[in-house]
Amino acid sequence: MAKPDYTHRLERLLEISRKLNTSLVLESLLQTITEAASELVDCDDSSILTIDEETKSLHFIAGPWFELDLMKPFRVPLDSSVAGWVFTHAQPVVLQDAGQDARVFRAVDKALNFETGSIIAVPMIFKDQTMGVLEAVNKKGNLSYNNEDILILETLASQAAVALQNARLLEKTQEAYEQMIELDRMKTDFIAITSHELRTPLGLILGHATFLRETASDEQASQMDVILRSAMRLKEIVEEFSNVENFKSGMARLHLRPTNIQHFIQEVVDSFQEIAHQKDIALSYDVTRANLTVGLDAEKIGVALSNLIKNALTYTNTEGHVLVKAEAVRSSLWVSVSDDGIGIPAKDIKKIFERFYQVESHLTRRHGGMGLGLSIARNMAEMHDGRIWAESVDGHGSRLTFVLPIKR
């Protein structure tokens, strides 16, 4: 016994839906939908129109492939076309005898040398929003459209609406992504230009100020010291910029050397004792194995560790504690800097490693800094194939840890 026609059409519809789910390319998806519409409604041609926001009229985005280029330039008016009525009313329209019907927009027929005899058009709806119109023309054998035809066309139209919506979302995501890349490039260029332009005048200020400091009277000496300290601070900022820029441009190279961890940590910690003392913070270190030697780029890891200690001292109040700990755990070196300072809010804990990210707004912040220290520390750790992260209980201190694989 032959299968009932309706069941056969539903099977085809299911088959087509499965096929649609395998592609993300909008043009071919819509093409498949119009071909399926022509086949299942058994008519000459099908097409899809969507709104052109600029001209507030409809335009074709899918149709018979051999005529689509001719159809695309047409703007179909919303107020004097069948597709326009379907779009604005979000309801289907069936014209069994479209030959003389004044509602049909004839310009396309004329251009394509085509005659619309009958037409069925349904809205493409996604979440209550009409996104376009799917229409099929000239049912074969001069037959009339029936309710099944409407149902099938509506099913295909909702698939087309989803495809269109996905494509729009994808486009928006792509645009946002490209903007982000562009912004990132501008940031990198800004850093490169600023550090380059600042270096020469800063070198001159430091050189001349050092010379004047040597010959200055006691009274002038303290003022020269202020100039020198400020210039040194500017030099540090320029160096931070250079570190970021070198990493970004791929100029930074690793120079791995066997490094005694005890000596290395002690040296870095000692360089901060003066600052810790001034703030009345107890700065100490703990290295579990005195003879532990690891291959690393001591200059780069020194910058990373210094940035962590600098932060711990900055964000810890007077009489606080900062502890630097280093230990070998299986085949990796763990270095952590813990403090009992102000802590880091949970919402910021991942973001603090981004360039220029600071927890406090730059307008109201009480601490200095550029928001670069941790991003540099992360770059340095990652260059060693390591990882860095932060843990904190807001208000009760933080622990920043980096782990480097010990390469043999």
CA distance 24 to 165: 11
d(CA 16, CA 156): 9
Q: Report the residue number, 64 or 369, with the smaller CB distance to ligand ADP.
A: 369
- Could you write out the DSSP letters of every residue in 159-175? HHHHHHHHHHHHHHHHH
Q: If binding is defined by CB under 6 A, does position 63 make contact with ligand ADP?
A: no
Nearest distance from residue 87's CB to ligand ADP, in Å? 52
Nearest to 122 by CA among 152, 157, 95, 147: 157
Least distance in angstroms from the C-beta of 393 to ligand ADP: 11
Pairing of strands 129-139, 43-52: antiparallel
Size of the site for ligand ADP (CB under 6 A): 22
Interface map 342-381 toward ligand ADP (x if CB under 6 A): xxx-------x----xxxx--------xxxxxxx------
Residue nearest to ligand ADP (CB): 369
CB 136 within 8 A of CB 150: no
Q: Is 238 in the site for ligand ADP (CB under 6 A)?
A: no
3-state secondary structure of 231: helix
Q: Tell me the H-state helices in 136-146.
A: none
Smallest distance from the beta carbon of 187 to ligand ADP, in angstroms? 14
Judged by CB under 6 A, the residue of 47, 118, 259, 311 near ligand ADP is 311
Question: In the bound complex, what is the minimum distance in angstroms from residue 337's beta carbon to ligand ADP?
Answer: 7
- A 10 A CB-CB count for 181 gives 10
Tell me the DSSP string of 355-389.
TT--SS-TTT-SS---S-HHHHHHHHHHHTT-EEE
Q: Which stretch binds ligand ADP (CB under 6 A): 46-54, 147-155, 289-297, 337-345?
A: 337-345
DSSP 2: P
Q: Minimal distance in Å, beta carbon 286 to ligand ADP?
A: 18
On whether the CB atoms of residues 331 and 293 are closer than 8 A, the answer is no
Kindly give the pairing relationship between strand 129-139 and strand 93-95.
unpaired
- Cα 167 from chain centre: 18
Q: How far is the CB of 194 from ligand ADP (least distance, A)?
A: 16
Residue 243 interacts with ligand ADP (CB under 6 A): yes or no: no
Q: How many C-beta atoms surround the C-beta of residue 347 within 10 A?
A: 9
Question: What ranges in 216-290 are assigned the alpha helix state H?
Answer: 218-248, 261-270, 273-278
Interface map 78-97 toward ligand ADP (x if CB under 6 A): --------------------
CA distance 321 to 324: 10
Can you tell me which of 339, 340, 380, 383 binds ligand ADP, judged by CB under 6 A? Answer: 339
Distance between CA atoms of residues 310 and 307, nearest Å: 5
Judged by CB under 6 A, the residue of 307, 324, 340, 386 near ligand ADP is 307
From 131-139, 215-223, 304-312, 381-389, give the range in contact with ligand ADP by CB under 6 A.
Answer: 304-312
Contact between 244 and ligand ADP (CB under 6 A)?
no
Of 126, 247, 285, 315, the one binding ligand ADP (CB under 6 A) is 315
Residues that bind ligand ADP (CB under 6 A): 307, 311-312, 315, 339, 341-344, 352, 357-360, 369-375, 398
